Amino acid sequence: MTALLSIRNLSVTFATGRGPFRAVDKVDLDVAPGELVAIVGESGSGKSVAMLAVMGLLPWIATVTADRMMFDGRDLLALSARERRKIVGRDLAMIFQEPMSSLNPCFTVGFQIREAMAAHLDLSRAQRQARAVELLELVGIPEPERRLKAFPHQLSGGMSQRVMIAMALACNPKLIIADEPTTALDVTIQAQILDLLLKLQKESGVGLVLITHDMGVVAETAQRVCVHYAGQQVEMQDTRGLFRDPHHPYTAALLAALPERAQGRLLPSIPGIVPGLADRPAGCLFSPRCRFATETCRTVPPPRAGAELGLALCHTPLIAGVPQRREFAA
């Protein structure tokens, strides 16, 4: 597979006041052209930080390391900041969780949409304006000419997110990263925005990394799913396999807590909380909450299983809900 995005062992460490904090720990990700990959996991599990690292948008206190970070045949790690800026915003775009605060209050919607085109595309002013109108129509905003002259505070949250989607699409990207694009919106319009995003993805054939809490959406749309827990990627499977036979106990717990037929809008809750900087267990990070935890789990970090077991980060990955005891060298 010639992956559009291919990441190996991505780690991000923040230099915080209380010492280094590893927010993302050895995460892998592959996205093929036109593919929709979902990333799920509780808040604080490093989903946003991992994707911001790919975009190169983390603050300076963050240190990013990876064995590989290839996008569209180019090594993002080897690119200079200037070269990377030619890719980011053109071939690689991102939609954020908070649409209202993600638009600059001092500039019109039109200015902000045309700006990305001006930076990356060889279009005249009139062409950029025409394309901006076209984009607003595409994302379902009525009276596009008038809306282009509006300032962000004159838009609702849903409108703002439509504008953000238009902005992301402006330069015909190859991959869009959508970080919980509906979480901050009214429940009534969440589905509209998500449907719009999925429709546009299908039509344009753009790759999409969708960070979401909505397991129902994952089940219906994603080709593959990555499950993150406390900065680690604990499982990755194609969607069908994941829902049929989760191999990591955390995934299993997520699915088990899901209401019948996976209609839950929010990530189902399971007992306990994600460990922070202070209370990180020595062994498996999930061990304090895992019903299969053993003494080994609590003291020895688990190895990664093979692809047939969903790359599960577990001493005893599940098959059909049953832990598989394996021999390993301690």
Partner 1 sequence: MLKLILRRVALTLPTFVALMFVTFVAVRLVPGDPIEARTGERGIDPERLAALRHELGLDQPVWKQFLDYVYALLHGDFGVSIVTKTPVLHEFLILFPATLELALCALVFAVVLGVPAGVLAAVKRGSVLDHSVMAVALAGYSMPIFWWGLLLIMFMSEYLGLTPVSGRMDLINYYFEPVTGFMLIDSLLSGEDGAFSAAVAHLILPTIVLGTIPLAVIARMTRSSMLEVLGEDYVRTARAKGLSPLRVVGLHALRNALIPVVTVVGLQTGTLLAGAVLTETIFAWPGVGKWLIESISRRDYPALQGGIMLISAIVILVNLIVDMLYVAINPRIRHG
- Binding to ligand ADP by residue 160, rule CB under 6 A? no
- Binding to partner 1 by residue 164, rule CB under 8 A? yes
CB of 251 to ligand SF4, least distance (A): 10
Q: Which is nearer to Mg ion, 103 or 211 (CB)?
A: 211
Binding to ligand ADP (CB under 6 A) within 59-88 occurs at 59, 61
Return the C-alpha torsion angle 176, 180, 182, 186, nearest 10: -160
Question: CB–CB of 87/72 below 8 Å?
Answer: yes
Rule CB under 6 A: choose which of 27, 46, 64, 90 binds ligand ADP: 46
x/- track of binding to partner 1 for residues 46-75 (CB under 8 A): ---------x-x------------------
Question: CB–CB of 264/309 below 8 Å?
Answer: no
CA contacts within 13 A on the Cβ side of 7: 24
Question: CB–CB of 200/138 below 8 Å?
Answer: yes
Rule CB under 5 A: choose which of 6, 45, 48, 112 binds Mg ion: 48
Contact window for ligand ADP (CB under 6 A) among 13-21, 86-94, 100-108, 201-209: 13-21
Question: Residue 329 touches which of partner 1, Mg ion, ligand SF4, none (CB < 5 to 8 A by kind)?
Answer: none
Quickly list DSSP for 82-150: HHHHHHBTTTEEEE-S-HHHHS-TTS-HHHHHHHHHHHHS---HHHHHHHHHHHHHHTT-SSHHHHHT-
CA contacts within 13 A on the Cβ side of 9: 6
Binding to ligand SF4 (CB under 6 A) within 295-324 occurs at 297, 302, 314-316
Quickly list DSSP for 184-217: TS-HHHHHHHHHHHHHHHHHHT-EEEEE-S-HHH
Nearest alpha-carbon partner for 227 in 12, 29, 5, 17: 29
Question: Residue 45 touches which of ligand SF4, partner 1, ligand ADP, none (CB < 5 to 8 A by kind)?
Answer: ligand ADP
State which H helix or E strand residue 52 sits in: helix 47-55
Give me 226's structure tokens: 């990555």
Binding to ligand SF4 (CB under 6 A) within 228-287 occurs at 249, 284, 286-287
Q: Which is nearer to ligand ADP, 11 or 112 (CB)?
A: 11
Q: Which is nearer to partner 1, 154 or 269 (CB)?
A: 154
Contact window for partner 1 (CB under 8 A) among 13-21, 82-90, 266-274, 288-296: 82-90
Question: CB–CB of 3/30 below 8 Å?
Answer: yes
Coil, helix or strand for 289?
A: helix
Which residues lie near Mg ion (CB under 5 A)? Answer: 48
Which residues lie near ligand SF4 (CB under 6 A)? Answer: 249, 284, 286-287, 290, 292-293, 297, 302, 314-316
Which residues lie near partner 1 (CB under 8 A)? Answer: 55, 57, 84-90, 93-94, 96, 98, 101-107, 112, 115-116, 119-120, 151, 153-154, 164, 167
